[in-house]
Amino acid sequence: MERLDAMAYDVLAAKLASRGVDVHKVRQRLKNQRIETPSWGFADSGTRFGPYKQAGSAVTIEEKIADAAQVHRYTGVAPTVAVHVLWDFPNGLADCATLSDYAKSLGVAIGAVNPNVFQDRDYAFGSITNDDPAVRKRAVDHMLDSIEIAKKLASDILSLWFADGTDYPGQGDFRRRKHYAEECLATVYNAMPAGMRMLIEYKPFEPAFYHTDLADWGMSYCFARKLGPNAHVLVDLGHHFTGQNIEHIVSFLIDEARLGGFHFNNHKYADDDLTVGSINPYELFLIYNELVKAEPDDGAGFEIPPHHRGNPPIAYMIDQAHVTKAKIDAMIQTVMQIQSAYAKAMCIDRKKLHEAQLAKDVVTAEMCLQEAFATDVEPLLRRVREEMGLDPNPLEAFRASGYWDRVSSERGFRSGAGLGA
């Protein structure tokens, strides 16, 4: 097996060399990749019809961090966990006193802090766009508290998503609501310490079904620009209409230096929060193609134009709720899927692609992408994992560890705070 692996790797390295790709650099970049898991992805979640409970689902933030640490332990590239304030710290600041140390003891750290201004009944008619100043203040205060929590947890990302919108024409005034949102966001932005970034997520519909106040990337971008250099757009892959060209949006935002991060997931119909790459792996690959081009060294030895540079650091976060899959298995599978898309995007013959574009040879240009997408990058990923001191197959290694069997019998079925729970 080892000999076969070594042979497969050599064949792949030779293939990549013929495309002008330096396989050593690709390995290095794969080792430097970072993916953030969400605390809520380890807890019970559900559908609009109700929550589904799994034996072993995490309830406390300590359990969620412990589960996230398993994902990092077997993949080596998921060292941070995003947290959701209301679900993870129901008592606010008091709940997170020793959490950084706890996370550190398990080999991980806290990532983006997500305030929650959508669950409470008060927000049914909007949070930062509500006509009632007391509700707007409540939402702003919660975000200010979230900044304090982020400081306490040594996190430098405040990640915002708003459910604000209306269900029927005439229900609200678009422009009045827009001005409320601008004012509230400015208050929050100005309270952030130096070095903290605000990520602004958008979503076209749901839970509001007529209009959403932050409906698309252009609106998030517009708010971010008005706020200042530390406000960036968060692209959640599930928050687009079917057929929308997400890689184009990604590329545009990179060029404007406003792409702040991702919420990885995949959808077939709406905001399904399925495993990224499960429905449309080619889309994920095409997104990574844009990201690879924006990295300082494209690893292909081909000079990338300076206008592709200068974007802020990109937070690669997962936002998935696994209802039917075993949660840690699904998270490891997700990380592997993202690694694979990244690796494939680095297998593109960039010189050939560039020349084909200039020569208006559409077929060759497209085939440069298709050949890279069809490349079996598993031998490369296995080699990288071995070099990182990991098992070449993280999912099998995790399953063989017995962790899940142990925690599911220890924890059993329980209720807890969380999405739909």
> Which x/- pattern over 225-264 shows residues binding ligand RM4 (rule: CB under 6 A)?
-----------x--------------------------x-
Q: Is 271 in the site for ligand RM4 (CB under 6 A)?
A: yes
By beta-carbon proximity to ligand RM4, the closer residue of 177 and 203 is 203
Smallest gap from residue 314 Cβ to Mn ion (A): 15
Q: Is 267 in the site for ligand RM4 (CB under 6 A)?
A: no
Q: Is 36 in the site for Mn ion (CB under 5 A)?
A: no
Are residues 44 and 418 in contact, defined by beta-carbon separation less than 8 angstroms? Answer: yes
By beta-carbon proximity to Mn ion, the closer residue of 48 and 360 is 48
Q: Which stretch binds Mn ion (CB under 5 A): 84-92, 205-213, 229-237, 343-351?
A: 229-237
Q: Is 36 in the site for ligand RM4 (CB under 6 A)?
A: no
> Which x/- pattern over 267-286 shows residues binding Mn ion (rule: CB under 5 A)?
----x---------------
Are residues 211 and 165 in contact, defined by beta-carbon separation less than 8 angstroms? Answer: yes
Cα–Cα distance, 31 to 343 (Å, whole number): 11
Q: Is 133 helix (H, G, I), strand (E, B) or coil?
A: helix
Cα–Cα distance, 18 to 365 (Å, whole number): 16
Q: Is 93 helix (H, G, I), strand (E, B) or coil?
A: helix
Smallest gap from residue 67 Cβ to Mn ion (A): 19
> Position of tokens 């040879």?
361
By beta-carbon proximity to Mn ion, the closer residue of 88 and 236 is 236
Are residues 102 and 73 in contact, defined by beta-carbon separation less than 8 angstroms? Answer: no
CB atoms inside a 10 Å sphere around CB 10: 12
Sign of CA dihedral 373, 79, 197, 42: positive
> Position of tokens 């929050």?
188
Alpha helices in 256-359 (DSSP H): 281-294, 327-345, 350-358
The one of Mn ion, ligand RM4, none whose footprint includes residue 114, by CB under 5 to 8 A per kind, is ligand RM4
- Give how many residues touch ligand RM4 by CB under 6 A: 9
Interacting residues with ligand RM4 (CB under 6 A): 114, 161, 201, 203, 236, 263, 271, 319, 419
Interacting residues with Mn ion (CB under 5 A): 236, 263, 271, 319
